[in-house]
Chain A
Amino acid sequence: MTASCQSVSITVPADAVWVSLAQMAAENGAGVFGLPSAKALRLTMGVEELLLYLAQTIPGQDVRITISGRSTHVAAEFEFASEGMDLSALNITSGAAHDEDDIFVSMPLLLASRMTDGFSVERMGERTRIALRVDRVYQEVDPSPAVRGAVRGAVSVIPAPEAAVMVDACARVCGLYPVHLVPVWFRTPGKVVNMVDSGEMGFLAAVDESGATCGMVCWEAPSKESVAFYGPYSFTESPAVSRLLVEELVRTVGRTSVKVVFSHIATEDLSGHGFEPLARVTYYAATGEAPCVLPIWYRHLREDFGASVWAHPDLVPFLEERYDELVLMRDIRPTSGMGERASDASVFSTRLTRELNEAVLRPMLNGIDNAENLARHLAALRKEGFQNIFFQVDLSSGWQAALGGDLLAMGFTPAMLLPHGGQSDVVMFQYVEPAA
């Protein structure tokens, strides 16, 4: 997939004297790339916060700041050599004071993340990238009346239809389906159109002979080897529409390098379409509505000839059961961290999606303080109001797998096992609030 992108970059030393230049670049860029001024201001403040922070942690080092206009958002990315840096500064909880009460005031990364709609820290080899994201503003659509029509004539499925069809389809979905089955951005179909145009999202519409749209399904690629879909949404009483959409989805992604398809939001039981149940994940809405349980369906697109994975001994029973149910052959190699070489301070990357009330943590660097760091993250994110806190462990990595013990001890449970969800299979741990 190629995303359309325009960008400007500046390289400045990490020093407070350059903050105003960086702010100007951010404000100007955000405006040129189409953010309204209130949103541009938020990006500018995030950039200020971040550069000031880097001026303290890597004083004087070159930082490349790139402001990019992407299909649905404007991003500010900070890239710098992490060599010689105290990497623990990349934890979103970095700078936390010991005093529980003013804990957030002194967490600059968390502060920067608050200004924006999305935040991520990634390490790529010797370089580190921190990205701030501010979403474009889209017009909300009025949901179409909640009536299902009849199909006229044969139904055909068309990929990436014209914008008007996509907008209409989103409005129909909003009218027909309960909120928990509809991704929030369906309410702003302009965003969907932009994502499809830029290749970030795949889209299939079902159309009958009269030209009426009678269903849709769409998908994104969360990793190189997987796609996650939303739907199938049918606007008719005919079960054929869903079947055609799912078949065409599998046919379309079956042509690519993708190994597995799973559902982000599945609207119906997909066992009749060659899908296998993977998990049931509880999701908490930001608005305080009752939590919903989302069944996750999945299907392999290719042969799986087996593999080796690492696992903390406490997780082995879960994995054995899941692998057996999924008929996946795995050599499970237990590991609990044998005191092998680890740095003083661990680093976790954090991806925050505020509209979903969701935080996804991933381990980046093994440290002797893994457990404490995990506790710090958990406390900070809970205080910040995140209710859907996930920790992603790639079982191709021994030290990551060994974190399973700490995670279980801290109240996380393995919410799902995603075959080929990363380098290898991935376990998504989810934090479960202790019963009151």
Chain B
Amino acid sequence: MSNLPLDRLVPSHIRLFEPYYPSLPDRELMRLYRLDHLHRLNNNENALGPPPAVSEMLEKVEAGVFPVYPGGDSRELRQALADKHGKTPEQFLVGNGSCELISSVVKAFCEAGDNIVTADQTFAVYEWVAEFSGLDARLIPLKAYAFDPEAMLAAVDGRTKIIFVCNPNNPTGTYWSRDVLCRFLDRVGGQQIVVLDEAYFEYVERDDYPDGMRLLERYPNLIVFRTFSKMYALAALRVGMLCASEELVDIVRRAHVAYSVNTLGQLAALEAIRDDADFVARTRAMVARAKGMLSELFADMGLESLAGEGNYVMVKTPMSDTLLHRKLLRQGLMVRTMTGFRFPNWIRISLVQEPVMREFCTAFRQLLDTR
């Protein structure tokens, strides 16, 4: 231990904050668990990806690009996004994953004494960023596994700056329809920033699922998040983006580090959206098949499960989720435990190719049958 005066140097909200410990690298895990294969079904990655055009492009990248800084504001990518979505490039901000953008938005709008409102069983980064920034995160319980608009509105006060809505919600897969969302935004009445995190947007095929990008003109307090980590399978390159009015983007940009998105990430994202229809369709088909298989298995076993939107499903298991996680891992299948997400004894499984899903189904059934 050093003799640093950490009591004085470290603010109390950092001292009390628990750092996040990611899982071990594959190779280390496989050695420890003596595995010859490992299927990661824990991070909602797209096992099909990335789109073939991206892979081809990446293979041709020359080392000459590496000594040069990336485009500091992802200009070309923003232009392409603007063309695709019918916006101006100034309405986009690109970040090192949408996680970085969550941080930038919080920094841009919040100061000591402010609070954010979100759900208690949702993507945890909204809450974490608020807490390690010394802000109060008001976590509203879900209602029937979905964000509860009334309770969230009731939690808003004069110091609430941002409301985070995850649509569809990770991990429950529930979503707000266009009507519910618009009614909520009407009630907020522009008094708070509303972040609509559409990380799984490209997976949803419901008619009443709203496209946040189409609502920006009507609601100038709205910021829409999308990511290249999920559908486009570029999680390793860390590219996320937000879209809002030029006025809001200009403000968030002030709190955002330029040059945070690397060259490969920008090139790959550009390529990914150029011609994505076929890849998106194939991914959706894979997810639908996997969702069907797991839903059938869980129904057959009489287990409560949630198979909503997104490339993941949840199931409540009759044993400890953490024990089941270890038992599945011993067979090369890594799922996400949900106790820390406030769903004791639930696990979340990412939906991937059929052979892997079949392997999961066999292992899952056998582990629970032989308990």
> Chain A interface (Cβ within 8 Å of chain B)?
125, 247, 250-251, 254-257, 274-276, 299-306, 327-329, 331
Interface status of B85 (Cβ within 8 A of chain A): no
With A125-B1, A327-B327 in contact, do A250 and B23 touch (Cβ < 8 Å)? no
Instruction: Report B87-129 CB contacts with A as 1/0, cut-off 8 Å.
Output: 0000000000000000000000000000000000000000000
Are the CB atoms of A300 and B323 closer together than 8 Å?
Answer: yes
Instruction: Report B339-371 CB contacts with A as 1/0, cut-off 8 Å.
Output: 110101100000000000000000000000000
Are the CB atoms of B32 and A302 closer together than 8 Å?
Answer: no
The residue of chain B having its C-beta at the shortest distance from the C-beta of A124 within the complex is B1
**In the complex, chain B residues whose CB is within 8 Å of the CB of A276:** 320, 323
Instruction: Report B1-30 CB contacts with A as 1/0, cut-off 8 Å.
Output: 100000000000000001000011000010
**In the complex, chain B residues whose CB is within 8 Å of the CB of A305:** 23-24, 29, 32, 329
**In the complex, chain A residues whose CB is within 8 Å of the CB of B319:** 274
Tell me, in angstroms, the Cα distance from A186 to B337 when the chains sit together.
Answer: 35
Are the CB atoms of B342 and A255 closer together than 8 Å?
Answer: yes
Q: State which residues 281-339 of B face A: CB under 8 Å.
A: 319-323, 325-327, 329-330, 336-337, 339
CB distance from A178 to the nearest CB of B (A): 28
**In the complex, chain A residues whose CB is within 8 Å of the CB of B66:** none
Tell me, in angstroms, the Cα distance from A329 to B23 when the chains sit together.
Answer: 14
**In the complex, chain A residues whose CB is within 8 Å of the CB of B345:** 250, 274
Are the CB atoms of A250 and B32 closer together than 8 Å?
Answer: no
Instruction: Please list 6 pairs of residues, one from A and one from B, whose beta carbons are closer than 8 Å in the complex, sorted by A's number.
Output: A125-B1, A275-B320, A301-B340, A304-B326, A305-B329, A329-B330
CB distance from A310 to the nearest CB of B (A): 16
With A275-B320, A328-B326 in contact, do A306 and B340 touch (Cβ < 8 Å)? no
Mostly helix, strand, loop or mixed at chain B's interface?
Answer: mixed
**In the complex, chain B residues whose CB is within 8 Å of the CB of A275:** 320
Contact check: which of A256, A300, A329 meets B320 at CB < 8 Å?
Answer: A300
Are the CB atoms of A329 and B321 closer together than 8 Å?
Answer: no
Tell me, in angstroms, the Cα distance from A276 to B23 when the chains sit together.
Answer: 23
With A250-B339, A254-B344 in contact, do A306 and B320 touch (Cβ < 8 Å)? no
Are the CB atoms of A274 and B24 closer together than 8 Å?
Answer: no
CB distance from B2 to the nearest CB of A (A): 9
Are the CB atoms of B344 and A250 closer together than 8 Å?
Answer: yes
Tell me, in angstroms, the Cα distance from A409 to B342 when the chains sit together.
Answer: 45
Tell me, in angstroms, the Cα distance from A305 to B337 when the chains sit together.
Answer: 12
**In the complex, chain B residues whose CB is within 8 Å of the CB of A257:** 18
CB distance from B68 to the nearest CB of A (A): 38
CB distance from A261 to the nearest CB of B (A): 10
**Known contacts A327-B326, A327-B330, then 4 further A-B pairs from the complex at CB < 8 Å, ordered by chain A residue:** A256-B18, A257-B18, A300-B320, A300-B326
Are the CB atoms of A254 and B29 closer together than 8 Å?
Answer: no
The residue of chain B having its C-beta at the shortest distance from the C-beta of A247 within the complex is B344
**In the complex, chain B residues whose CB is within 8 Å of the CB of A254:** 339-340, 342, 344
CB distance from B29 to the nearest CB of A (A): 6
**In the complex, chain A residues whose CB is within 8 Å of the CB of B323:** 274, 276, 299-300, 327
Are the CB atoms of A251 and B325 closer together than 8 Å?
Answer: no
Are the CB atoms of A274 and B337 closer together than 8 Å?
Answer: no
**In the complex, chain B residues whose CB is within 8 Å of the CB of A255:** 340, 342
Are the CB atoms of A306 and B344 closer together than 8 Å?
Answer: no
With A306-B33, A329-B32, A331-B32 in contact, do A300 and B322 touch (Cβ < 8 Å)? yes
Are the CB atoms of A302 and B29 closer together than 8 Å?
Answer: no
Tell me, in angstroms, the Cα distance from A247 to B343 when the chains sit together.
Answer: 10
CB distance from B13 to the nearest CB of A (A): 14
**In the complex, chain A residues whose CB is within 8 Å of the CB of B344:** 247, 250-251, 254, 274
The residue of chain A having its C-beta at the shortest distance from the C-beta of B326 within the complex is A327
Tell me, in angstroms, the Cα distance from A125 to B327 when the chains sit together.
Answer: 39
**In the complex, chain B residues whose CB is within 8 Å of the CB of A250:** 339, 344-345
Tell me, in angstroms, the Cα distance from A15 to B322 when the chains sit together.
Answer: 55
CB distance from B242 to the nearest CB of A (A): 28
Tell me, in angstroms, the Cα distance from A283 to B342 when the chains sit together.
Answer: 35
The residue of chain A having its C-beta at the shortest distance from the C-beta of B29 within the complex is A305
The residue of chain A having its C-beta at the shortest distance from the C-beta of B321 within the complex is A274
Tell me, in angstroms, the Cα distance from A247 to B342 when the chains sit together.
Answer: 10
Tell me, in angstroms, the Cα distance from A161 to B339 when the chains sit together.
Answer: 24
**In the complex, chain B residues whose CB is within 8 Å of the CB of A302:** 322, 337, 339-340
CB distance from A275 to the nearest CB of B (A): 7
Q: Which of A256, A275, A302 has the most CB of B within 10 A?
A: A302
Tell me, in angstroms, the Cα distance from A245 to B333 when the chains sit together.
Answer: 32
The residue of chain A having its C-beta at the shortest distance from the C-beta of B319 within the complex is A274
With A251-B344, A257-B18 in contact, do A304 and B33 touch (Cβ < 8 Å)? no
Are the CB atoms of A251 and B342 closer together than 8 Å?
Answer: yes
CB distance from B118 to the nearest CB of A (A): 14
The residue of chain B having its C-beta at the shortest distance from the C-beta of A252 within the complex is B342
The residue of chain B having its C-beta at the shortest distance from the C-beta of A249 within the complex is B344
Contact check: which of B18, B322, B342 meets A303 at CB < 8 Å?
Answer: B322
**In the complex, chain B residues whose CB is within 8 Å of the CB of A251:** 342, 344
Tell me, in angstroms, the Cα distance from A303 to B339 when the chains sit together.
Answer: 10
**In the complex, chain B residues whose CB is within 8 Å of the CB of A125:** 1
Tell me, in angstroms, the Cα distance from A256 to B18 when the chains sit together.
Answer: 8
Q: Please give me the 6 A-B residue pairs with the lowest Cβ-Cβ distance, nearest first.
A: A300-B322, A257-B18, A274-B320, A306-B32, A327-B326, A254-B339
Are the CB atoms of A301 and B322 closer together than 8 Å?
Answer: yes
Tell me, in angstroms, the Cα distance from A299 to B340 when the chains sit together.
Answer: 13
Tell me, in angstroms, the Cα distance from A304 to B324 when the chains sit together.
Answer: 11
**In the complex, chain B residues whose CB is within 8 Å of the CB of A247:** 344
Q: Which of B322, B327, B337 has the most CB of A within 10 A?
A: B322
CB distance from B225 to the nearest CB of A (A): 24
